[in-house]
Copies of this chain bind each other. A is one copy, B any other.
């Protein structure tokens, strides 16, 4: 795509729809590889009463993925007062929002949980912006895996702007933080929001970046599916995984602004809560054994770790 192409919301929406298709296809293939049974995503299409709708795709009890959701939506309608105020608009205006959201909970504690979101927001007033990111939540943080993950994201970012990775990596550290646990949710990744184009060429460039992020998802996660699916584990690792999923639930329900906004503004609950794990456990005041891999993981769940 050349930089003087006019990027419309239709162009972006079409890309996101296709991205959902391609990601689901890649995940199904990777999940089925070497297994007797191939599992397919189930699709629910839904309409939003105020305008627009979506396609929620979910996979349950598959080979590698225990529970996962890949959602696409394109919704529009009257902008809320809060949105109007944030843009200093005094007249009513319409919004249009489209994006792809993913959370995958693997069966094995040796395979990380992953989250991705890419989104575009446009107002009838002419304001528009992109947002998104990819972040990884390994149940066991392995330095080599973390380095590879961050290096891959850095490479994607660097193709567009050398300032992106350091800025968006810090943003992810800050966003995916659980204050009441003084832990990060996982090893972060990149997070960005309100990327507002200055002109149409800038918009084409931002869109190209968001496309690159979206396209990076399947290769990144299928890499971990292939590499880690056959690692041995037992009850202690499964117990730890279920406790870490508890923290995932705590982050998403208490702190994640997207989840809170969705639930408070009457979004489609089942699509918003596709991010919930199949099972999560809580043990009162649990502390891993000193010197254990679990304790080492906790030690690494903090902001500002330079993985690259």
A positions within 8 Å CB-CB of B: 44, 58, 60, 67, 69, 179-181, 242, 246, 249-250, 253-254, 260, 263-264, 266, 269-270, 272-274, 276-285
Q: What are some 18 contacts across the A-B interface (CB < 8 A)?
A: A58-B285, A179-B266, A181-B269, A242-B279, A246-B276, A249-B253, A250-B273, A253-B253, A254-B254, A254-B260, A270-B284, A274-B284, A276-B282, A277-B282, A278-B281, A279-B281, A279-B282, A280-B281
Asked whether, in the complex, the Cβ of B249 is within 8 Å of the Cβ of A67, the reply is: no
Tell me the bound Cα distance from A264 to B285 in angstroms. 19
| A273 nearest CB across to chain B (Å) | 7
In the complex formed, the residue of B with least CB distance to A260 is B254
**Chain A contact residues: over half helix, strand or loop, or mixed?**
mixed
* A246 surroundings in chain B (CB, below 8 A): 276
| A298 nearest CB across to chain B (Å) | 14
* A242 surroundings in chain B (CB, below 8 A): 279
Asked whether, in the complex, the Cβ of A254 is within 8 Å of the Cβ of B263, the reply is: yes
Which 4 A-B residue pairings sit nearest by Cβ, starting from the closest? A253-B253, A276-B282, A180-B263, A58-B284
Q: A180-B263, A242-B279, A269-B181 are in contact. Are A284 and B253 (CB under 8 A)?
A: no
Which residue of the partner chain, among B179, B249, B254, B284, contacts A69 with CB atoms under 8 Å? B284
| A65 nearest CB across to chain B (Å) | 12
Tell me the bound Cα distance from A285 to B71 in angstroms. 14
Asked whether, in the complex, the Cβ of A284 is within 8 Å of the Cβ of B60, the reply is: yes
Q: Which of A58, A67, A280 has the most CB of B within 10 A?
A: A280
Tell me the bound Cα distance from A235 to B270 in angstroms. 24
Asked whether, in the complex, the Cβ of B278 is within 8 Å of the Cβ of A180, the reply is: no
Tell me the bound Cα distance from A246 to B69 in angstroms. 18
